[in-house]
């Protein structure tokens, strides 16, 4: 693994995280290269969010090594993590919007608080506006999170994640609790973010359809919406990782996933009815 970390954006090598005496991540290893997308599937409590928070340095690993942007960050200090996080964008499961701040201030927050990203006020206002336009919420600048619907809050979360133009984007259950139409809109925005900004993307979800959409669709800049990707698979590479009780039980492509013999993995692919 050591030889390939130079090219990888994010890599876990035998990472273990324990809560009390229980291993919530058990010797997890995977690798993600620049421009790739990773779909992380698993049932509730399988360790998906813990994995994402470990990648952000919000939860410390008890064992193994984490590599970010080609560097070993397992022992990074909190200050070093702040610099690393400036290169990452994240959408939390609950949105993580600050309810005491307006939408404009929420989106501007990383630009104001991350030392390496500070920019002049006009530049900041322009980037905030651009980010909100990207998620089609340019008219909500003065509003507060409590005034928006769940789907809109999720879109503001995406705007905040991309405002810094990060190299790595992490989405924690972006479609959880949303109706199918809003969920499709959110996925279309994630695809747009991936294709327009060429960001490496990690998406944590329990819905196979999210991964499917990420693999089978691409954003068409001329049309301004997502279209089915070419069948020859020339789009960005998407691979799937399935977690079960903190362990990786599957790591492969969509085609491999759809033919997986493991009952637990197959359950994600199986369609109701």
Strands 238-244 and 37-42, by their bridges, are parallel
Work out whether 99 is an interface residue with other proteins (CB under 8 A): yes
User: Binding other proteins by CB under 8 A: which of 92, 134, 171, 250?
Assistant: 92
The answer to whether residues 82 and 115 touch, using CB atoms and an 8 Å cutoff, is yes
Work out whether 130 is an interface residue with other proteins (CB under 8 A): no
Min dist. Cβ of residue 176 to other proteins (A)? 13
Q: Which of 43, 153, 27, 178 is nearest to 98 (CA)?
A: 153
Count of residues interacting with other proteins (CB under 8 A)? 24
The answer to whether residues 154 and 100 touch, using CB atoms and an 8 Å cutoff, is no
Min dist. Cβ of residue 172 to other proteins (A)? 9
Tokens of 135: 């998620």
Work out whether 123 is an interface residue with other proteins (CB under 8 A): no
User: Binding other proteins by CB under 8 A: which of 95, 211, 235, 236?
Assistant: 95
Q: Which of 160, 156, 207 is nearest to 184 (CA)?
A: 207
76 vs 95: CA distance, rounded Å? 26
Min dist. Cβ of residue 96 to other proteins (A)? 3
Site string for other proteins, 135-174 (x = CB under 8 A): -------------------------x--------------
Strands 238-244 and 247-252, by their bridges, are antiparallel
Site residues for other proteins per CB under 8 A = 53, 56, 58, 78, 82, 85-86, 88, 90, 92-99, 109-110, 113-115, 117, 160
């Amino acid at each position: 693994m050591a030889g390939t970390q130079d090219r990888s954006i994010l890599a876990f090598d035998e990472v273990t995280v324990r809560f009390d005496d229980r291993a919530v991540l058990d010797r997890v290893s995977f690798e993600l290269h620049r421009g790739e997308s990773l779909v992380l599937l698993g049932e509730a409590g399988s360790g998906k969010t813990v994995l994402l928070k470990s990648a952000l340095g919000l939860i410390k690993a008890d064992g193994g090594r984490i590599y970010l942007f080609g560097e070993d960050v397992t022992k990074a200090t909190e200050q070093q993590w702040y610099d690393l996080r400036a290169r990452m964008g994240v959408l939390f499961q609950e949105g993580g919007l600050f309810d005491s701040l307006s939408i404009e201030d929420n989106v501007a927050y990383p630009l104001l608080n991350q030392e390496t990203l500070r920019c002049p006020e006009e530049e900041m206002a322009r980037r905030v506006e651009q980010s909100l336009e990207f998620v089609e919420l340019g008219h909500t600048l003065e509003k507060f999170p409590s005034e928006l619907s769940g789907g809109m809050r999720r879109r503001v979360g995406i705007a905040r994640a991309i405002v810094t133009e990060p190299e790595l984007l992490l989405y924690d259950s972006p479609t959880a609790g949303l109706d199918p139409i809003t969920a499709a809109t959110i996925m279309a925005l994630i695809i747009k973010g991936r294709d327009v900004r060429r960001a490496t993307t990690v998406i944590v979800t329990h819905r196979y359809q999210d991964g499917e959409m990420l693999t089978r669709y691409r954003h068409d800049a001329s049309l301004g919406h997502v279209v089915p990707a070419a069948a020859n698979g020339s789009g960005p590479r998407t691979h799937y990782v399935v977690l079960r009780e903190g362990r990786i039980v599957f790591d492969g492509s969509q085609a491999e996933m759809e033919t997986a013999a493991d009952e637990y993995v197959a359950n994600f692919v199986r369609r109701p009815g």
